[in-house]
Every structure is written in structure tokens, then in C-alpha cells.
């Protein structure tokens, strides 16, 4: 069987099956490696830690980029598509990121990281904690010391000091 | 210089007190920021409460990849979030990358040499302590003064690049409007841009021992073809409000060479205050706070001015 017509069946954590063209599936380095190591008759790859909703998104990404490469889609179009693709709620975004890391899809991982970095950019420490559901776990002294050393970029610290 | 053309005109003494403010630098009194002036911060949807409850935690490897996309100010901020983030954000290789981007004129090896020679102790500490000028925003100085009875407002902008070049612009345009033009890649896009004052591309050198920047830039404006060709030179002191912020520039001296031979020293009274740094992150909001819309003074100018004088403040104070 040639690689061209080959179909790979990906099975999500919740046992949903996705039939994907070989070229699309192997955008994941993990799957490419798995398929290389097994016999050609094997077509089913379980993805035990990614649920169907997230896996569908990941496959959507791979399918678009596989096609975009084939038909030589323009950079701007791809960028616009990527931007739209990243317009999801934070939970989905984080899950896509975790899946991309597990499946080893470099471009998707990079896109996701860029998006998360963009979320950090213009937010305060408090806002970041809230956004990422993180509890600040520094003691009061540590917190003060951290601020003294690391808060130089914050507009607020400049305002306060300028007023003094 | 452009906006001050005509400086030196003679006015008769009159009972209009604001005439005395002619060419005096004004400073807005402690400004109370109106909430309406400032746009909302978190305009993007941040998910509902139920989603937040089971937000998955990003593994350290992913966090590290995210941090590789941040600049120094953002990375410092990230380190304050929690211990785990701090551990990831303090990794030397992240700060090495930032140091090499901050001082690209020196090779990685030369930068390491400086780190060791000056005993900074780590890449992160070198970044925090070694003198540098910031590339992630604009340095802005607003001048407000009266010419006759009209209130004149103009801005001076500096933007520095890691490669030793910089852009310099003097314009009445507010920062929000002028910021895109400060990019070296900006080109006029339509007839509306043809009338705008364009930034000049200059070069600068930071003396790390003396904490001074010498900057020079031409002053050519296509809009004024008859303007004399000149090169303006600035001697600038680098200062900061908190350690590591590098957010103030004060011009100690300004001079120009006009038409390749005529040398002139400028009056530096207009630099009696420092340029303030405003980062591109949250730029609009910060500008609305730091440079409150001048129309507010414009509308209240006489009332405001008389009140200030009534308090016994001299022109210089204001």
C-alpha cells in the first residue's frame, strides 16, 4: 500500500475514532515514529490522553496545514487561518497545547505558545494568576523581594516611584 | 524646533497674564485620572467561571516554550506569578537569550566575558544591572507652553534599536497616533500620510560607564523642502525610577550642525524634565495616564493658570 492512499485511524481517550490521511496524521512526529515502527497493516493509533473534542481540533489544524502546503497557500492566508483557529476558550487552548506537545506537532505547539505568551503580555501579575488559575504561593517577604527585583517593567511601579 | 519656530517674537506687555507664560514649560499638576479616559484592560473573553475551575495546568516544558516568546519585562513579570513560574523563568538560558538580544553588537562570547569580568553573577543579573537602553517602547517628552495666548503642545519621541540606530520625531501628534510611525519600516501609505512629519533615523552610542547616550540624527522633513539640512546631536543621561527600569532620559545638551558648517547650541530649558519611557505593551492605556489629553488644559487654560498662580506657584513650578 502506498503512503498516499493510506488511512490512519486515531482513537481518542473517549474511544472516538478519527480517520485521517497518512500525510495529515504524520504531521505529528509521534505518530510518524509509531507508524514507522509497526507493520504497514496497522492503521489504528490510540491517543490515550487526548479527548475527542481536542483531537478533532488538532486534526483540523493538521488537515488545513497539510492542504495549505499542497496547494501553496499564501503566508497571509495561513496566518489569518491560524489566528482564527486560536480563537478558542482558554481551556481548549491549553488542551490543544498539551496535545500538541504530546503528539509532537512543532508548528502547532509554537502557535499555541505564541498565543499564550500574547495573553501574558499586557496583564498584571494578579490578572495572570486569575487567568491561569494559579495561587500566588510566595510568603509575604518573598513576594516583596520578588517585586523589588522583577517589577521594573511595570507601569504601576514607575508611577508610584515617580510620585514619591 | 519645528513646533517652536517663531520663538523670539515680541509681544507688548498687557494685562493678559498668560502672555507671561510664553515659552515657559508647563507641567500638568498631579493628575487625577478619570476612569473614562482609560480603556478597559481585559477586553478579551476570559472564559466563564466553570471553565476556569478545571483549567488544565501547563507542564513545565510547555511553560518554558511560552517563556521563550517573552521579552525581558514580560519574563520578569512572569517570574512573580508563583514559585513554579519563577523556577522556570529564572533559567539561565532564557536570560542568556535576552542578553544576547539586548547587546547584539557583542558576540555571545564577549557578552559572557563581560558577565564574568564585571561579576554580574548570572545572565539574569547582568540583564538587570548592566546599563542598557530599552527597545520595547518609546521615550516621550511632552512640551506644553503658551505662545501668545495659544496653548502649544508638542511631543518628542525617541525609539532605540538594538543595532545602534534610533528614530527621532518631533510632532504635535499624540503618542497613540505617532507610535506606528516610529518604526523604521514605516512608509507613507496614502495622501493623508504625506502631510505628516516623519521620524528621522539616527544613531546612538551608550557609554556604559558614564550612563550617557550620545545620539545624532538628521532633521530632514520632506514636507519642508526648503528647511536647512542639519544634524542634531544630543547628550543624554540615562536614569530610572526603580532599579533596572531604565525609563528616564534627560537631555543634558543639544547642538546642531547646519549646512555642514554652522554650529549652534540649543537652549535646553525645554528639557527641564526627562523623557519618560512607555512600553509597547499597554501603550495606549499608559499614554492616556501619563499624557492626559491636552484638551483638558486647553479648555480650562485661563482658569487653571490663574488658580495655579493664585497658589503662589511660579511659572517654573507649573
pLDDT of amino acid B307: 63
What is the pLDDT, as a whole number, of residue B294? 74
Distance between CA B52 and CA B266 in Å, rounded?
A: 58
Give all domains of chain A, ordered by start, each with its CATH number: 7-115 (3.30.710.10), 122-152 (no CATH)
Residue B41 and residue A122: Cβ atoms within 8 Å? Answer: yes
What ipTM does this complex have?
A: 0.89
Among the listed residues B40, B78, B54, B67, the one whose alpha carbon sits nearest the alpha carbon of residue A89: B54
Distances (CA, A) of A49 to A11, A54, A99: 10, 10, 8
Per-residue pLDDT, A35: 87
CA distance A145 to A138: 10
B28 touches chain A (CB under 8 A): no
CA geometry: angle at B242 spanning B240 and B244, to 5°?
75
Instruction: Calculate how close chain A gets to B20, using CA atoms only, in Å.
Output: 28
pLDDT per position as a tens digit, A70-117: 998 899 999 999 999 999 999 999 999 999 999 999 999 999 999 999
Tell me the CA distances in angstroms from B134 to A15, B90, B238, B279, one per residue in order.
52, 20, 10, 9
Distance CA B262, CA B18 (A): 35
- Are the beta carbons of B82 and A95 separated by less than 8 Å? no
Query: Which residue, B282, B76, B93, is CA-closest to A122?
Result: B282
**Separation of alpha carbons B94 and B218, rounded Å:** 37
pLDDT the model gives residue B304: 61
pLDDT value, residue A5:
72
CB contact under 8 A, A151 and B76: yes
The pLDDT of residue B313 is 52
Residue B150 neighbours by CB distance under 10 Å: 10
A146 and B282 within 8 Å at the Cβ level: the answer is no
**pTM (two decimals):** 0.78
The half-sphere exposure of A104 on its side-chain side, counting CA atoms within 13 A, is 7
Q: Residue A40 gets which letter from DSSP?
A: T
Burial string for B178-205 (b: 16+ CB within 10 Å, else e) reads bbebbeeeeeeeeeeeeebbbbbebebe
Residue B246 is placed in which grid cell? 531604565
In angstroms, the separation between the Cα of residue B306 and the nearest Cα of chain A is 24
Cβ partners under 8 Å of residue A64, min gap 6: A81, A85
Q: Which pLDDT tens digits describe chain A residue by residue (164 residues)?
A: 456 678 889 999 999 999 999 999 999 999 999 888 887 776 888 999 899 999 999 999 999 999 999 998 899 999 999 999 999 999 999 999 999 999 999 999 999 999 999 999 888 999 999 999 999 999 999 999 999 999 998 865 444 444 33
Query: Which residue in B42, B74, B278 is closest to A121 by CB distance?
Result: B74
**So what's the pLDDT on residue B219?**
87
Considering the domain B58-129 in this protein, what is its CATH number? 1.20.1280
- Nearest CB to B56: which of A98, A124, A157? A98
**Chain A interface disruption, residue of B48, B49, B56, B94, most A CBs within 10 A:** B56
Identify the closest residue of chain A to B51 by CA–CA distance: A91
Burial class of B315 by CB neighbour count within 10 A (0 to 12, 13 to 18, 19+): middle
Q: Which residues pair with B142 in a beta bridge?
A: B155
The pLDDT of residue B151: 76
Q: How far is CA B157 from the centre of its chain?
A: 6
d(CA B240, CA B250): 10
- Work out the angle at residue B19's Cα, subtended by the Cα atoms of residues B14 and B22, and round it to the nearest 5 degrees: 145
Inter-chain residue contact B245 with A157, CB threshold 8 Å: yes
**What does each of the 318 residues of chain B score in pLDDT, given as a tens digit?**
333 334 444 444 445 555 455 545 555 544 444 444 444 444 444 444 444 557 888 899 999 999 999 999 999 999 999 999 999 999 999 999 999 999 999 999 999 999 999 999 999 999 999 999 999 999 999 988 777 667 788 899 999 999 999 999 999 999 999 999 999 888 888 777 777 888 999 999 999 999 999 999 998 887 787 888 889 999 999 999 988 899 999 999 899 988 777 788 887 776 778 999 999 988 998 898 888 877 766 666 556 666 655 655 544 444
Please report residues of B whose CB lies closer than 8 A to that of A157.
241-242, 245
- Cα angle value B177/B42/A118 (rounded, 5°): 75
Distance of CA B154 to CAs A147, B82, B108, B157, B202, Å?
35, 43, 41, 10, 20
List the domain boundaries for chain B.
58-129, 134-310
Nearest Cα neighbor of B101 from B61, B77, B73 is B73
Say what the pLDDT of residue B311 is. 59
> What separation in angstroms does the CA of A24 have from each of A4, A60, B46?
10, 9, 31
Alpha-carbon gap: A2 to the closest alpha carbon of chain B (Å) = 35
pLDDT at B194: 76
B53: closest chain A residue by CA? A133
Residue A159 has what pLDDT? Answer: 47
Give the residue from B182, B314, B163, B158 showing the smallest Cα distance to B246.
B158
Cβ within 8 Å of A, B 230-289: 240-245, 247, 277-279, 281-282, 286, 289
Amino acid at each position: 500500500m502506498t503512503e498516499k492512499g493510506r488511512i490512519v485511524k486515531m482513537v481518542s481517550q473517549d474511544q472516538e475514532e478519527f480517520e485521517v490521511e497518512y500525510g495529515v496524521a504524520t504531521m505529528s512526529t509521534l505518530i510518524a515514529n509509531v507508524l514507522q515502527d509497526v507493520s504497514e497493516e496497522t492503521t489504528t493509533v490510540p491517543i490515550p490522553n487526548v479527548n475527542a473534542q481536542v483531537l478533532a481540533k488538532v486534526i483540523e489544524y493538521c488537515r488545513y496545514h497539510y492542504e495549505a502546503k499542497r496547494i501553496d497557500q499564501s503566508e497571509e492566508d495561513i496566518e489569518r487561518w491560524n489566528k482564527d483557529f486560536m480563537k478558542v476558550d482558554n481551556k481548549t487552548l491549553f488542551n490543544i497545547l498539551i496535545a500538541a506537545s504530546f503528539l509532537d506537532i512543532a508548528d502547532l505547539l509554537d502557535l499555541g505558545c505564541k498565543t499564550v505568551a500574547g495573553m501574558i503580555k499586557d496583564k498584571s501579575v494578579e490578572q495572570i494568576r486569575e487567568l491561569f488559575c494559579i495561587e500566588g504561593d510566595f510568603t509575604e517577604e518573598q513576594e516583596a523581594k520578588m517585586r523589588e527585583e522583577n517589577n521594573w517593567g511595570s507601569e504601576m511601579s514607575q508611577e508610584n516611584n515617580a510620585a514619591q | 524646533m519645528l513646533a517652536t519656530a517663531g520663538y523670539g517674537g515680541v509681544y507688548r506687555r498687557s494685562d493678559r497674564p498668560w502672555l507671561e507664560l510664553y515659552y515657559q514649560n508647563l507641567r500638568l499638576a498631579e493628575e487625577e485620572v478619570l476612569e473614562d479616559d482609560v480603556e478597559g484592560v481585559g477586553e478579551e473573553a476570559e472564559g466563564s467561571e466553570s471553565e476556569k475551575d478545571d483549567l488544565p495546568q501547563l507542564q513545565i516544558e510547555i511553560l518554558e516554550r511560552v517563556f521563550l516568546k517573552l521579552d525581558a519585562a514580560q519574563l520578569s513579570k512572569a517570574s512573580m506569578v508563583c514559585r513554579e513560574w519563577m523556577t522556570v523563568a529564572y533559567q539561565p538560558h532564557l536570560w542568556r537569550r535576552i542578553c544576547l538580544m539586548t547587546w547584539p553588537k557583542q558576540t555571545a562570547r564577549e557578552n559572557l566575558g563581560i558577565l564574568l569580568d564585571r561579576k554580574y553573577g548570572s545572565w539574569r543579573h547582568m540583564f538587570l544591572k548592566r546599563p542598557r537602553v530599552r527597545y520595547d517602547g518609546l521615550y516621550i517628552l511632552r512640551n506644553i507652553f503658551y505662545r501668545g495666548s495659544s496653548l502649544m503642545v508638542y511631543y518628542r519621541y525617541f525609539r532605540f534599536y538594538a543595532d545602534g540606530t534610533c528614530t527621532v520625531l518631533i510632532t504635535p501628534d499624540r503618542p497613540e497616533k505617532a507610535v506606528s510611525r516610529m518604526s523604521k519600516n514605516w512608509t507613507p501609505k496614502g495622501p493623508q500620510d504625506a502631510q505628516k512629519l516623519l521620524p528621522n533615523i539616527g544613531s546612538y552610542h551608550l557609554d556604559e560607564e558614564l550612563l550617557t547616550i550620545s545620539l545624532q540624527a538628521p532633521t530632514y522633513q520632506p514636507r519642508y523642502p526648503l528647511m536647512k539640512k542639519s544634524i542634531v546631536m544630543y547628550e543624554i543621561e540615562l536614569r530610572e525610577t526603580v532599579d533596572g527600569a531604565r525609563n528616564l532620559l534627560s537631555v543634558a545638551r543639544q547642538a546642531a550642525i547646519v549646512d555642514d558648517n554652522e554650529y549652534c547650541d540649543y537652549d535646553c530649558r525645554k528639557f527641564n524634565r526627562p523623557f519618560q519611557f512607555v512600553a509597547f505593551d499597554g501603550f495606549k492605556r499608559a499614554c492616556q495616564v501619563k499624557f492626559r489629553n491636552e484638551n483638558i488644559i486647553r479648555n480650562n487654560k485661563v482658569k487653571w493658570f490663574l488658580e495655579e498662580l493664585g497658589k503662589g506657584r511660579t511659572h517654573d513650578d507649573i
